[in-house]
Amino acid sequence: MTAHPRIWHLVLILSIFSTPLVIMYVYQVIDSIASPDPGSLIPGEIDLSNWRFLWERIDMGRPSIWMVTFNTFIFASTTAFLVTLLSTTAGYALSRLDMPGRPYFLGGLIILHAFPTITLIIAIFIILQFLGLFDTLLGIILVKAALELPFGVWIMKGFYDTVPWEIEMAGVQDGASRFRVWWELVLPQVKPGLAALLIISFLSGWSEFVLPLVLAPGSSTQVLSTYMNAVIQDDASADFGLFKAIGMFYSIPVIVIYLVFQKQLMNIYGGGTKG
């Protein structure tokens, strides 16, 4: 597009709307490392005491941050791994394999993809109690993975759909079984999809809040989101410096992934998908 002389109008309007966000981002970083100065917005001296949660318990009865971080990592990575694994096979079956009832599976997938899973949380809460998985990491991992699955299958099916049929036909013609064709010829073509799904479901697991809050409320299964929420809820003095430092710590993987994969992430989310 040619440059337009009145483009600064747009820039001005956009800037006005963006200001609150930018202020939030900037002070999120500043306040986490500067001593708070009540009633003023000019940061005080550099003060790392906000980060004390890393080396001491901020109050009694709260689990150590490292255990919480470990829980979060296990939760997010296992979920991402499970979702990717099951989506990789199920997506291929739905995209390519001739089997009875395929249209119904596809229709069901679309419905599930749109269906707001959070409405089921009460029933899931009770199911986990029946199964004895309530307040366990395994329980929320299974639930989170299952709830992310329709999205994952949908994404992977989309990636498989772009692999030319002729590649598979050629493989079959070359004498390879359907399984071998999938493993050796098709799977390498959808590697970008696997990576994208791994990243997205890891991010989703890392950010998840409601599921651990409801299904794993105990302190031994706390994850960073519920830990941070509990610190905010329990602290009457609203120590934003501490909150923001925890927030910074919590969002490190998100920020790193965002900086590295921003463009790819936008593309994936832009494909008309849930996220």
Partner 1 sequence: MELRLENFTKRFGDVTVIENMDLTVNSGEMMALLGPSGCGKSTTLFAICGIHKMNGGALYFGDRDVTTVSAQGRSVGVVFQNYALYPHMTAEQNIGFPLKVQRMPKAEIRREVERLADLVQIGNLLDRRPAELSGGQQQRVALARAMIRKPDVLLLDEPLANLDAKLRLEMRSEIRRIQRETGITAILVTHDQVEAMSMCDRIALMRDGKIVQLDTPEQMYRNPQSQFVAGFLGNPPISFLPARADASLTLANGQTIERPPGLEAMGDVVLGIRPEHFGPQHGTGLKGKVVFVEPQGREELVDVRLDGGGDIRSILPAGDPIRPGETVDWGIAPGTILAFGPNGDRL
Partner 2 sequence: MTSRMLGIGFLSPAIISVCIFFLLPVLLTVVFAFTNMSTSTGIMGGDYRINTEQLRSLPDLDVSEATVERLETAGFQITEAGLTALADQFSKDTAEELREDYLGETFESRRDLERVLKDLDEPIRRTRDRKEAADLFAVTLIGERFGTEEEFRAALGTTGIDAVDHDVLTEFAYTGWTWTTDNFSLLMELPSTLRYAANTAFYVVATLTFNILFGLFLAISTFYLPGRLANTFRAIWFLPRILPPVLYVLMWNWFTWDNGFIATVMGWFGVPAKNWMMHTSTHAWTAIVLINGFVGASLGMILFSSAIKAIPTSMLYASEVDGANRWQQVRYIILPQMRWPILFMTSYQTLSLLTSFEYILLATDGGPGRSTEVWALAAFHTALNNYGGNLQYGFGAAYALVLVFIGIALSVAYLRFFNFKELLSKPRIEQ
Residues 60-119 that bind partner 2 (CB under 8 A): 86-87, 89-90, 92-94, 96-100, 102-103, 105-107, 110-119
Q: Look up residue 102 and give its two tokens.
A: 């395929």
Residue from 44, 107, 188, 271 that binds partner 1 (CB under 8 A)?
188
How many residues bind to partner 2 according to rule CB under 8 A? 108
Residue 175 interaction partner, one of partner 2, partner 1, none, beta carbon < 5-8 Å per kind: partner 1
Residue 132 interaction partner, one of partner 1, partner 2, none, beta carbon < 5-8 Å per kind: none
- Decide: 223 and 72 in contact? Cβ < 8 Å: yes
How many residues bind to partner 1 according to rule CB under 8 A? 16
Tell me the C-alpha to C-alpha distance, in Å, between residue 158 and each of 2, 27, 114, 246.
35, 40, 16, 37
* Closest CB 8 distance from partner 1, rounded Å: 44
Give the side-chain half-sphere CA count within 13 A for 273.
22
* Closest CB 64 distance from partner 2, rounded Å: 19
- Integer Cα distance of 34 and 201 in angstroms: 33
* Closest CB 258 distance from partner 2, rounded Å: 6
- Indicate the residue among 7 and 48 with the shorter CB distance to partner 2: 7
- Decide: 208 and 39 in contact? Cβ < 8 Å: no
* Closest CB 56 distance from partner 2, rounded Å: 21
Residue from 14, 169, 254, 266 that binds partner 1 (CB under 8 A)?
169
Q: Is 185 in the site for partner 1 (CB under 8 A)?
A: yes
* Closest CB 218 distance from partner 2, rounded Å: 15
Residue 45's region, left for phi above 0, alpha for psi from -120 to 50, else beta, is beta
Backbone angles phi, psi at 34, to 5 degrees: -120, 150
Query: CA torsion 211→215→221→227, rounded to 10°?
Result: 50
